[in-house]
Amino acid sequence: MTQTATVNYHVHKPERQAFELDAGGIVGNLISPELAPTQVTVFDERAVGVDATFDDASVGFTNYPTVVRSFDDSVDWRPAYDAELTELLKTEVAAQEVIIFDHTVRVDDPDADRKPARNVHSDYSLHGAKQRLVDILGEDRAADWSAGHYAFINVWRPVGATINSAPLGFILPESVTDDDWILLDLIYPDRKGQIMGLAANDDHEWVYMSKMTPDDVAYFNIFDNRGRPSVAHSALDMVEDPTIHTIRKSIESRTLVRY
């Protein structure tokens, strides 16, 4: 089963492009490079009982309920959730060590501080991943991890309600060429990083899982120092059921794993 969605691809330009986050010191203020809205056909993984696997496609889907009932600041839910994600990644990708270093709750509301990311991208360039490794571990420990096999993996989960609009979509890595990738700067008030944007290509094969519930998760590779492909992803502008009007809310957790 397929759906049609709109995504925002990046555009090749002769000069370096950048995102500026919390621009001007205003939380949530985002200055974006040029984007190209494009209609794409998206294959629904739920329709075939999940065909994409982490081993073959660098993205996997599974049912993995959480004991956490609210991801707000009223309680410290992080220790419990971090423990769950650690077990998830040890089970699903055979990670030997897991460090969870960031959680981002996104709400599809104009007034939200963090909205769904509506640009086709992957979170790190080669330089950006290596710098983030040092940021998290320090130089000595990062050198130790670099001597072995490590990766950055994101885990994404709906919050509060089944996803009816703006689900997260992924491009199968085998359909992406090296020339599709565009290096982008990521400018924060206190630091600078690099991500990879993706330009449009008619050969891209998009997948997603329809109607993901808060018990469902997607886990996907962002960077692997032994060459597992990174997964380009984006919120998909589409609606499953026009009679349902729940707001899309999700939590994306960034992790560092050692194999």
Which two three-digit tokens encode residue 217?
């998760």
Which two three-digit tokens encode residue 115?
């909205």
* Residue 226 to residue 121: CA distance in whole angstroms: 20
Q: Which residues is 104 bridged to in the sheet?
A: 252
**Band of pLDDT at residue 23, cut at 50, 70 and 90:** low
Please give the single-letter amino acid code of residue 101: F
Please give the single-letter amino acid code of residue 190: D
pTM for this prediction: 0.93
* Residue 35 to residue 9: CA distance in whole angstroms: 6
Phi then psi for 83, rounded to 5 degrees? -65, -40
Residue of 155, 153, 150 lying closest to 258 (CA atoms): 150
Are 97 and 258 spatial neighbours (Cβ–Cβ below 8 Å)? yes
Which two three-digit tokens encode residue 246?
């729940």
The pLDDT > 90 percentage for the chain reads 83
How confident is the model over 171-210, as pLDDT tens digits? 999 999 999 999 998 888 877 888 999 999 999 999 999 9
